[in-house]
Amino acid sequence: MTTLPDLYAAEPIPDAALAEVTRLLSTADLFRYTAPDQAPVSLLEQEFAQMLGAKYALAVSSCSAALFLSLKALALPKGARVLIPAFTFAAVPSSVVHADCVPVLVECGDNYRIDINDFISKLPTADAVIISHMRGHTSDMDAIMALCRAQNIPVVEDAAHSLGTTWNGQNIGTLGAIGCFSFQSYKMINAGEGGILVTDDANLVARAIIMSGAYEHTWIKHAVPAQAMEMWQNQLPLYNLRLSNLAAAIIRPQLAELPRRVADGRRNHDHVAARLNTAPIFDVPAPLHGELRAPDSIQFNLVGITDAQTQTFAETAAARGLKVQIFGQSRDNARAFWNWQFLDDTPELPQTRAMLMRACDLRLPARLTIEDCDIIADLLLDIAQSVTTSCAA
């Protein structure tokens, strides 16, 4: 029997990180504001902003922290309404609650993207919008940005899991007022924990820098116009959500690996997607026009089968060693909106619920080979065959 590739093992951190980590341990310069300049966190910010084509970047402790700071940077009043997709990770509604705002959930379609009609109907009551490019699936950003611009509503992009994805050739995370990314271990760049936000707006980044914990005049070490920084000195609370130099030292050498990871991840995804789409039980939704994804996982819908068969599919896959997660089928999935019981009011969103009950999630890391991908595709097709023939509806 062929052995299944390990879908959870991480890619090794490049050797270059070791020398820098060793240097940092010997100097003990772990705090981003200790050194007068050129601290690893500062260098990361410059390199990341340049890589994405943004003016400013602020590295912080997580993408959740970046989302929270984005809402605070926008100076939204208490109780402001923030539209978020109903299909996203629990960190997104959490960041809204943390910022004293109210999340308003928008329906998503069975292609995992925001339902534009529901978005249009809810937008007039919104003060801000967070677009979560969930698993790299990009909603119609032309329509969303045009609608939000017309109504003067700021857009924050949650690009936590979308680093490397482009929309009409432009990097995801640079379309809205602020874009947020994660360096948590399951994302494209792995520092265990960490996040970063990018923006072209000096005023927004100045506010975020102060609130991230640039106390007194430490903001001098940021490449941001002093005028913008001076305006907010002593005016804002400090939430201390900074990134450590150690994390930056682990992240920086991985930036050069990104193009390869993106290309290999897309190759793997598209290979498995094409094979799965040959079976009527599977539907891997096509990308939108203008969208070029950087996937490290694959999502597909189970179509034309019963609830019982859906359950059998997941159980058979698990029994054969493949952990296929159906978003809506476990009691604690953090991407199923009805599990966000910390919200004051969880609306019913039938379209998103129906999608989550049939949408499967499988990790497909960039380091897999095409042979590995074929082993996975063979297994999925074989399971599909057994599910549809053994207990046909």
Candidates 33, 48, 87, 89; binder of ligand PLP (CB under 6 A) is 89
Q: How many residues of this chain bind ligand PLP (CB under 6 A)?
A: 15
Stretch that binds ligand PLP, among 72-80, 83-91, 248-256, 284-292 (CB under 6 A): 83-91
Binding mask 121-150 for ligand PLP (x = CB under 6 A): -----------x-x----------------
Please report how close the Cβ of residue 183 comes to ligand PLP at its closest, in angstroms. Answer: 7
State which of positions 13-72 bind ligand PLP (CB under 6 A). Answer: 62-64
CA-based nearest residue to 276, from 300, 259, 292, 297 = 300
Binding mask 153-172 for ligand PLP (x = CB under 6 A): -----x-xx-----------
H-type alpha helices, 194-292:
202-213, 226-232, 245-255, 258-276
Candidates 174, 182, 309, 329; binder of ligand PLP (CB under 6 A) is 182
CA-based nearest residue to 112, from 261, 305, 314, 299 = 299
Counting contacts by CB under 6 A, is residue 245 touching ligand PLP? Answer: no
State which of positions 91-110 bind ligand PLP (CB under 6 A). Answer: 91-92
CA angle 226, 229, 230 (to 5 degrees): 85
Please report how close the Cβ of residue 208 comes to ligand PLP at its closest, in angstroms. Answer: 15
Residue 25: both structure tokens together: 């341990």
CA-based nearest residue to 336, from 93, 173, 64 = 93
Place of tokens 């359950």: 311
Stretch that binds ligand PLP, among 88-96, 167-175, 257-265, 321-329 (CB under 6 A): 88-96
Give the residue with the Cβ less far from ligand PLP, 89 or 340.
89
Report the C-alpha gap between 98 and 88 in whole angstroms. Answer: 16
Give the residue with the Cβ less far from ligand PLP, 134 or 228.
134
Give the residue with the Cβ less far from ligand PLP, 183 or 282.
183
Beta carbons of 351 and 319 less than 8 angstroms apart: no
Please report how close the Cβ of residue 294 comes to ligand PLP at its closest, in angstroms. Answer: 13
Candidates 195, 265, 285, 328; binder of ligand PLP (CB under 6 A) is 195
Give the residue with the Cβ less far from ligand PLP, 123 or 134.
134
Candidates 42, 139, 184, 245; binder of ligand PLP (CB under 6 A) is 184
166-175 burial, b for 16+ CB within 10 Å, e for fewer? Answer: bbeeebbbbb
Please report how close the Cβ of residue 332 comes to ligand PLP at its closest, in angstroms. Answer: 16
Residues 6+ apart with CB under 8 A from 151: 123, 124
Residue 43: both structure tokens together: 């260098």
Place of tokens 């940092």: 24
Q: Which helix (H) or strand (E) holds 298?
A: strand 297-302
Coil/strand/helix, residue 243: coil
Report the C-alpha gap between 149 and 307 in whole angstroms. Answer: 42
What residue ranges bind ligand PLP (CB under 6 A)?
62-64, 88-89, 91-92, 132, 134, 158, 160-161, 182, 184, 195
